[in-house]
Amino acid sequence: MHATDALAEADRQMTICNACRYCEGLCAVFPAMEKHRTFADGDLNYLANLCHSCGACYQDCQFSTPHEFAVDVPRTLAKVRNDSYKTYAWPGFLAGLFDRNGLAISIVAALGVAAFILGFIAFNDADQLFAVHQGEGAFYRLMPHNAMIILFGAAFAYAILALCMGCRAFWRDSNAVNAVIGDGRVSIWQAMKDASTLRYLDGGGVGCINEDERPTDNRRLYHHLTFYGFLLCFGATSMGTIYHYVFGWQAPYPWWDIPPMLGKVGGVGLVIGTVGLLAAKWRRDPALVDESKRGMDTAFLVMLFLTAATGLALHGLRSTPAMGMMLAIHLGVVFSLFLTMPYGKFVHGIYRFAALTRYAMSNRHGFAKPGASSSDS
Amino acid sequence: MSKNSVSPATRLPSGWDERYDVLVVGGGNAALCAAITARNAGSKVLVLEGAPKFYRGGNTRHTRNLRCAHDEANEVLTGPYSEDEFWDDLMRVTGGQTNEELARHTISESRELWDWMNEQGVRFQPPLGGTLSLGRTNAFFLGGGRAMLNALYLRAEKLGVDIVYDAMVTDLEIEDGHFNSATVEVDGTSHTIRAATLVTAAGGFEANIDWLKEYWGERAGNFLIRGTPYNKGSILRLLLDRGVEPVGDPTQCHAVAIDARSPQFDGGIVTRLDCVIFGVVVNNECVRFYDEGEDFWPKRYAIWGRLVADQPDQTAYIIIDSKAISLVMPSVYPAIEAGSIGELAGKLGLSAERLEATVADYNASVQPGDFDPNTLDDCHTEGLEPPKTHWARTIDEPPFYGYPVRPGITFTYLGTRVDKQARILMTDGKPSANMYAAGEIMAGNVLGKGYIAGIGMTIGAVFGRIAGREAAKHARN
């Protein structure tokens, strides 16, 4: 009756959790679960995307392995969550990219970088690539601004479209049991607060379970650095676009100006955050991780790291003959990041936000939960 | 498999062969409260937990909350719960089978527990919708009993308490009520541990089927044990065999009716069923044997284990219909579903003819009334033996559902007699010079019979702290 073995296993475990309910104070997954008596695939995908994988419930569970019930919600929901990206991918025929995500991203990134280098050479000549370009409009002597806008605008627009279509499918499916209509604004605001603070990555207050039973808050810190670093870099690009079109000021800008400052701070945050998350992933208790999809997480983090690292390198080397090559590499990486966004770990943020919104909505509507939680008797 | 979930190779702490100030036998709430308190008082403390690391903590790992008296509402408790009210609640369930001095002392000391637990790193959750009925009297552990245990263990480790898992105490050398040493088996090797004082906090004997059979006969073989298989009562046995005064009715145990499909050990909380009051309960001859609507679950919940234990094969069946299914807690095993009573009987292995007759008799005796699951309503039967005095509604709307149930044993009452200082009393009436008891092993002093939610944790924590404090004081002198 479930589409996959992972969903059937999630159903089995959620049924045990729903009869126990000791974890209901830890995060949103359990109160959301309590609103159900049975679990359709869409419900499980919703719960899986609500899970931040902090691991607290695993450490607190009296039924985790070696108990015969073998409950391991973080790992089980990680599997379901990773599968759900594929389930809702748009267009459907590209869903397979998730399976070989690490490889796909490496190939796309390598091709993207190569294409930009070759494109620069073809557009100018090889000497130009290694010449020193300085002053306003230096970047555009290698690649005209309009060409950049068309290429990146198209890649970005495609990513947004594909992400929206996937999210739409997820949203509809997660409403399979309790459809909620209207009342979006307040719930979205609540979800923004929950997502921006990573409210549910705190293990109920003490931090994440990582390598052992001693909780730490490192993953939340690194995730914050990554997420806000990404936003700052995105802000730098947006600011640059405004400078260009509104004020007619051409990049590169002086080091102290807003776009380079945002880019530098964001880039440093991204570098530290992604390295920290990669290290945490490496050390994490395998019982909490969906090992089969580790490549997808790693590939995404590496892409973010490369985006930041090449951006910082470009900034540092922009007055040297290496500028042309760094620009080509950086643009190639960013272009590949855009293209692969809808088919990699990036989508976790989108679906998690949708799930948090859906949770805020259902909370506000106060669905009755079946049965009352009981004492310890 | 997790590297956390299996016991690490048992490592003996350095100084293992030295003499300890306080030896704590057991690894649950009471044991950890004793160990932390003694350590804070400057003692060198060793905890011997008989179970592997994952199963540490005995019944505590399946608990959820702590009952504590308090004067005003706080972050987790919704209102005042006076000592007098706590006392009244205890009197109601025990019917007076309690030691008043110890009980009043426990209740009075319970006022400090919430703060103390918080200081140790134990976290509580704000009262949630479904738990409101207990939100006033009981503080709920965030994440449940195992989370609470994890916090206490982290605290004890940080303080420098030595802890050894898979450590089975096989003998206690006791001379004229004075403890000298314990023999413990770790990794197949016997060690002798000397300590100035002994705190026993090793639980009851509910997982010892042979011992249960002494009182219940062969039918105990059909009992399900809700806690870990490690609660064998071996320490209790050793103490009683060496002149310790027993307390509590040995034939008494907390027995509820749980899903018969549960594992024989350690099914914990998820095996409970709360649907008795919404249906009829029959034995395997399809005969009803008690008033299902006598009182609320969970107030009457604990009587059903005993009732089912008296039925043939220690098995019974709860029968409800589609009107009731949405009123009950989701269960870990799905209800057995059928389109007719006859079909349901077949699926449950019962006689279709007899079950149909029993349900038809019951339906015919149901009187009209206003059904209300939140009060003792006026829906009852007439001319039926035994009657169903509340929530009696006809069972006639398919699909029909059935749950097989068996007695599920939570804990036993037999224990060691103690005084206010948690000192173990010997059969001659004198307190032991250096032996203390805390937790389920002495809970029978306070809770002679019956049960109120969270009181096991209260007794364990109160007497654990007293035992730790007194043992440390004695060891210093």
Contact yes or no for B62 and A204 at CB 8 A: no
Paired strand residues for B404: B317
Distance from CA of B147 to the nearest CA of A (A): 5
- Interchain contact, A66 vs B302, CB within 8 Å: no
**Cβ count near A56 (within 10 Å):** 29
pLDDT at B291: 96
Give the pLDDT score at A148: 85
Which pLDDT value is given to residue A122? Answer: 79
Instruction: Provide, as residue numbers in chain A, all residues whose Cβ is less than 8 Å from the Cβ of B329.
Output: 19, 370-374
**Cα–Cα distances in angstroms (integers) from residue A287 to residues A66, B15, B215, in the given order:** 12, 34, 43
Helical H segments across chain A, by residue range: 5-20, 29-33, 41-50, 56-60, 73-87, 101-123, 126-129, 145-174, 184-197, 218-242, 258-283, 294-316, 323-340, 347-365
Best B93, B259, B269, B451 residue to mutate vs chain A (most A CBs within 10 Å): B269
Residues of A in contact with B373 (CB under 8 A): none
B140/A377 Cβ within 8 A: no
CA distance A240 to A315: 14
Please indicate whether residue B117 or residue A115 has the higher confidence score (pLDDT).
Answer: B117
- State how far the Cα of A366 lies from the Cα of B125, in Å rounded to an integer: 20
Cβ contacts below 8 Å, chain A against chain B, sum to 161
- Whether the CB of A66 is below 8 Å from some CB of chain B: the reply is yes
Q: What is the mean pLDDT of residues B217-231?
A: 96
Which residue among A64, A372, A377 sits closest to B256, beta carbon to beta carbon?
A377
Overall average pLDDT of the B281-303 stretch: 88
- For the cut 60, the answer to whether the pLDDT of residue B241 exceeds it is yes
- pLDDT tens for B73-107 read 888 888 899 999 999 999 998 999 999 999 999 99
pLDDT at A50: 96
Q: Between A65, A205, A288, which is nearest B123 by CB?
A: A205
How close, in Å, is residue B125 to chain A by CA atoms?
6
| More confident call, B245 vs B16 | B245
- As for the ipTM of the complex, it is 0.94
Contact state of B143 with A377 under an 8 Å Cβ cutoff? no
Give mean pLDDT, residues B106-120.
96
Chain A segment 310-369 residues within 8 A of B by beta carbon are 369
Q: Is A56 within 8 Å of B151 (Cβ atoms)?
A: no
CB within 8 Å: B144 and A67 = no
Q: How far apart are the C-alpha atoms of A301 and A271, rounded to whole Å?
A: 10
Give yes or no for a contact between A310 and A333, defined as CB atoms under 8 angstroms apart: yes
Please, is B383 exposed, middle or buried when counting C-beta atoms within 10 Å of its C-beta (0-12, 13-18, 19+)? exposed
pLDDT digits (tens, 9 = 90+) for B146-170: 999 999 999 999 999 999 999 999 9
Beta-carbon contacts of residue B268 (< 8 Å; ≥ 6 apart): A20, A62, A63, B61, B62, B226, B227
Least Cα distance to B199 among B432, B436, B470, B466 occurs for: B436
User: In this structure, are strands B246-247 and B400-412 parallel, antiparallel, or unpaired?
Assistant: unpaired
Chain A contact set for B254 (CB, 8 A):
377
Closest of B426, B366, B375 to residue B395, by C-alpha: B366
Task: From A196, A223, A199, A218, select the one nearest A208 (Cα to Cα).
Answer: A218
Distance between B278 CA and the closest CA of chain A, angstroms: 13
Residue A8 pLDDT: 98
Over 90: is that where the pLDDT of B49 sits? yes
Is residue B21's pLDDT more than 80? Answer: yes
Q: Is A376 close to B64, i.e. CB distance below 8 A?
A: yes
Strand B178-186, strand B423-425: pairing: unpaired
Structure tokens at B120: 């140790």
Contact assignment for A376 to B269 by CB distance below 8 Å: yes
pLDDT in tens, A151-189: 889 999 999 999 999 999 999 898 654 555 556 778 889
Yes or no: say if A292 and A94 are a contact pair by the CB < 8 Å rule.
no
- The answer to whether the CB atoms of B268 and A62 lie below 8 A apart is yes
Question: For B299, which residue in chain A has the nearest alpha carbon?
Answer: A377
Minimum-distance CB partner of B326 among A24, A287, A370: A370
CB contact under 8 A, B130 and A59: no
Q: For residue A255, give the amino acid letter.
A: W
Nearest to A152 by CA among A144, B18, B186, B444: A144
Residues of A in contact with B410 (CB under 8 A): 377
> A125 burial class (0-12, 13-18, 19+ CB within 10 angstroms)?
exposed
Contact criterion met (CB < 8 Å) for B329 and A19: yes
Using the Cβ of A272 and the Cβ atoms of chain B, whether some distance falls under 8 Å is answered with: no
Pairwise CB contact (< 8 Å): B65 & A376: yes
Interchain proximity A371–B329, CB inside 8 Å: yes
DSSP assignment letter at B160: T
Task: Give B155→chain A minimum CA distance, Å.
Answer: 11
Say if the Cβ atoms of A285 and B144 lie within 8 Å. no
Q: What percent of chain A has pLDDT over 90?
A: 56
Residues 202-231 of A with CB under 8 A from B: 204-206, 212-214
Mutate to test the interface with A, among B7, B53, B54, B64 (most CBs of A within 10 A): B64
The first and second tokens of residue B303, run together, are: 């009587």
Low-confidence ranges of chain A (pLDDT < 70): 175-183, 365-377
pLDDT at residue B235, as a whole number: 98
Query: In chain B, which residue's Cα lies nearest the Cα of A64?
Result: B5
| Mean pLDDT value of segment B298-322 | 91
CA-based nearest residue in chain B for residue A69: B267
Lowest mean pLDDT among A285-299, B177-191, B238-252: A285-299
pLDDT higher than threshold 70 for residue B297? no
Q: Please calculate the CA angle B475-B38-B200 and round it to the nearest 5 degrees.
A: 80
A205: nearest Cα among B141, B77, B111, B129: B141
Residue A203: both structure tokens together: 């293990």
pLDDT confidence band for B394 (50 / 70 / 90): very high
Closest Cβ–Cβ partner in A21, A212, A375 for B453: A375
Instruction: Give me the count of residues in chain B.
Output: 477
CB B462 within 8 A of CB B437: no
Q: How many CB atoms lie within 10 A of CB A108?
A: 21
Is B190 exposed, middle or buried, given 0-12, 13-18 or 19+ CB atoms closer than 10 A? exposed
Interface contact flag, A376 B63, Cβ < 8 Å: yes
In this structure, chain A runs to a length of 377
Note the pLDDT of residue B257.
Answer: 94
**Is A286 at the interface with chain B, CB within 8 A?**
yes
Mutation target vs A (from B7, B128, B455; most A CBs, 10 A cutoff):
B128
For the stretch A212-245, pLDDT in tens is 888 899 999 999 999 999 999 999 989 998 998 8
The answer, for A63 touching chain B at a CB cutoff of 8 Å, is: yes
The whole-number pLDDT of residue B18 equals 73
- For B169, the token pair is 């105490």
- Treating both helix axes as pointing N-terminal to C-terminal, what angle do A5-20 and A41-50 enclose, rounded to 10 degrees? 70
Q: Report H helices in B190-290.
A: 209-216, 234-241
What's the pLDDT score for residue B5? 35
Contact B128 A25 (CB under 8 A): yes
% of residues, chain B, pLDDT over 90: 85
Which pLDDT belongs to residue B73? Answer: 85
